[in-house]
Amino acid sequence: MRLYAISDLHLGIPANRAALEALPSFPDDWLIVAGDVGETQAHLQLCLDVLTRRFAQVIWVPGNHDLWTVLGETLRGVAKYQRLVEICRAYGVLTPEDAYVRWPGAGPPTLIAPLFMLYDYTLAPLGLDPAAALEWAAAADTICADEHVLWPDPYPSRAAWCQARCAATAARLEQIDPAFHTILVSHFPLHPATVWLPAIPRFSIWCGTVLTRDWHLRFRARAVVSGHLHIPMSRVIDGVRFEEVSFGHPQQRRFHALQPCLREILPGPQL
Ligand SMILES: [Fe+2]
Ligand SMILES: [Fe+2]
């Protein structure tokens, strides 16, 4: 059995919906869906309707687009997140609110940890507070649509929501038996060095937080899975695999079918 990962399915795009529906079955394998399924509850339901029939187990984390309040959606912030978690649970899909599950395949004991931390504008030049970081990005004509449609309610800001999620998540990860390794799964990159955005470098402030930069070592990761950048890539940092697994927009990718874009996480390449 294998553990695969994909992210950024963006099912509001008709070509991406067609690619999802054309995906064959992997009845023995598990799939990580690392956020940005789409913008609405219906996008998540469509996604899970298909993928829970194609894979033995699906694991989900939210992306920023999933948390938008657009296209007739009314729930905001934490309320929208909680509704998406309820949809996942109705399909038997694991979320950041569930107990970390042990990978049943071969290899050292490993827990799969779906995480939700968002971003806090700290991936900017040192010393900039969030307001100054936004000005720095705006000076290069860079702004993320989240500023208009991703509400942090009831938190006062997305940065405050991020910092609360980081503290609670680190406390949970600290409880893992040290005999276990982890697969850390987050829509947003965990390590600043993996935030590589050559066309829009100042978009980095919407791409995570410095608070997670040592989590791959601190929590004994065998691999770290993320999306969000729409630039699929595999890198090794400190001996740990970092896998950016975006499907993304049709004009951004070499392959139009979904299957060649699935990334094998476990057993994975032998390093
Ligand atoms: Fe995306
Ligand atoms: Fe994203």
pLDDT digits 0-9 by tens, 227-264: 999 999 999 999 999 999 999 999 988 888 999 999 99
CA of 38 relative to ligand 2 center, distance in Å: 10
Has this prediction a pTM greater than 0.75?
A: yes
Q: Is residue 198 part of a domain?
A: yes
Residue range of the domain that includes 55: 3-266
Q: Quick one: average pLDDT of 216-224?
A: 98
Q: Tell me, in angstroms, the distance from the centre of ligand 1 to residue 34's CA.
A: 10
100 alpha carbon – ligand 1 mean position (Å): 24
Query: Which ligand has an atom closest to residue 119 CA?
Result: 2
On whether residue 55 sits in a domain, the answer given is yes
For ligand 2, the distance from its centroid to the CA atom of residue 117, given in whole angstroms, is 12
What pLDDT, on a 0 to 100 scale, did the predictor assign at position 47?
Answer: 98
- CATH number of the domain enclosing 44: 3.60.21.10
pLDDT at 151 over 70: yes
Give 265's pLDDT tier (boundaries 50, 70, 90): very high
Q: Residues 178-212: pLDDT tens digits?
A: 999 999 999 999 999 999 999 999 999 999 999 99
pLDDT level of residue 135 (50, 70, 90 thresholds): very high
Predicted local confidence at residue 271, as pLDDT? 55
Q: Find out whether 81 and 114 touch, Cβ atoms under 8 Å.
A: no
The Å distance, Cα 93 to ligand 2 centre, comes to 20
Q: How far apart are the CA of 112 and the centre of ligand 2, in A?
A: 21
Rounded distance from Cα 158 to ligand 2 centre (Å): 14
Nearest bound ligand to the CA of residue 8: 1
Q: Is residue 49 part of a domain?
A: yes
Determine, yes or no, domain membership for 271.
Answer: no
Identify the nearest ligand to the CA of 231 by its number: 1
Ligand nearest to C-alpha 9: 1
Distance 267 CA to ligand 2 centre (A): 26
User: pLDDT of 99-129, one tens digit each?
Assistant: 999 999 999 999 999 999 999 999 999 889 9
Least distant ligand from the CA of 37 = 1
pLDDT, tens only, 43-102: 999 999 999 999 999 999 999 999 999 989 999 999 999 999 999 999 999 999 999 999
How confident is the model at residue 256, as a pLDDT? Answer: 86
CA of 20 to the centre of ligand 1 (A): 15
Distance 64 CA to ligand 1 centre (A): 8
The predicted structure's pLDDT at residue 255: 80
Residue 194 lies in a domain: yes
Counting the structural domains of the chain, the total is 1
